[in-house]
A and B are shown apart, each in its own frame.
Chain A
Amino acid sequence: AQTVTQSQPEMSVQEAETVTLSCTYDTSENNYYLFWYKQPPSRQMILVIRQEAYKQQNATENRFSVNFQKAAKSFSLKISDSQLGDTAMYFCAFMKHSGGGGGADGLTFGKGTHLIIQP
């Protein structure tokens, strides 16, 4: 079974600062996906960024980037030039990729980090 650990229950930074959210995971799988989801107060789960484990290059999406360290099983999210609209819960998630029906048993989520962007 996989586990995902987010060690920061809450973080607070000033607008325009850079913030890094940490995530570690434990798995015996070699092929998998990693995700960061954002959940604003509206409750909608929004995909922020994803990383395929076989890709060495770190994924980036505008102000969001990841630092994927496969050997260390670490997958941190960096938000640059943070904005008030970035205030939300952020969840790190794992999905296995290999084998028949890979990923059908869904995402394994961390417990989340509540990020607050202060004006």
Chain B
Amino acid sequence: NAGVTQTPKFQVLKTGQSMTLQCAQDMNHEYMSWYRQDPGMGLRLIHYSVGAGITDQGEVPNGYNVSRSTTEDFPLRLLSAAPSQTSVYFCASSFFLGLVAGELFFGEGSRLTVL
């Protein structure tokens, strides 16, 4: 009963490096999303997907790319990391029947530090 799995849990990057945060869910959820959590800011939506092949931008999409080739996986890519992307990242998923079903299931988070 894995739920939403994020890897890695911790990562340190240098400015300009690229990396991918992985997110996988085994609940057959159509909807998947990425949030970032910064001190004193709550969580803010980066990108989301309502199904395989469909993605859209959230509140803070700049500097991040996503793709959704399968229902299970929703990776988040940082193409050229910047110190402003130092944050804790959460992946979340839900059923989607024309609208989000009312509860998001979150992964355990990935702490990223960009030096």
By secondary structure, the B interface counts as strand
Q: Using Cβ atoms and an 8 Å threshold, which residues of chain A touch B98?
A: 100-102
Near B by CB (< 8 A), chain A positions 30-47 give 33, 35, 42-47
Cα A101 to Cα B101 with chains together (Å): 11
Query: Total contacts A to B, CB within 8 angstroms?
Result: 67
Q: Judging by beta carbons under 8 Å apart, are A104 and B90 in contact? A: no
Measured CB to CB, the nearest residue on chain B to A31 is B99
Q: Using Cβ atoms and an 8 Å threshold, which residues of chain B touch A4?
A: 42
Near B by CB (< 8 A), chain A positions 90-114 give 91, 95, 97, 100-107, 109-112
Q: Using Cβ atoms and an 8 Å threshold, which residues of chain A touch B102?
A: 33, 50, 52, 95, 97, 103
Total interface residues in chain A, CB < 8 Å: 26
Cα A112 to Cα B44 with chains together (Å): 13
Interface membership of B43, Cβ < 8 A: yes
Q: Using Cβ atoms and an 8 Å threshold, which residues of chain B touch A52?
A: 102
Residues of A within 8 A of B (CB): 4, 33, 35, 42-47, 50, 52, 91, 95, 97, 100-107, 109-112
6 A-B pairs in the complex with CB atoms less than 8 angstroms apart: A45-B43, A102-B99, A105-B58, A106-B45, A107-B45, A109-B42
The 9 closest A-B CB pairs, nearest first, are A103-B100, A109-B42, A102-B99, A45-B106, A106-B45, A109-B43, A43-B109, A111-B42, A103-B99
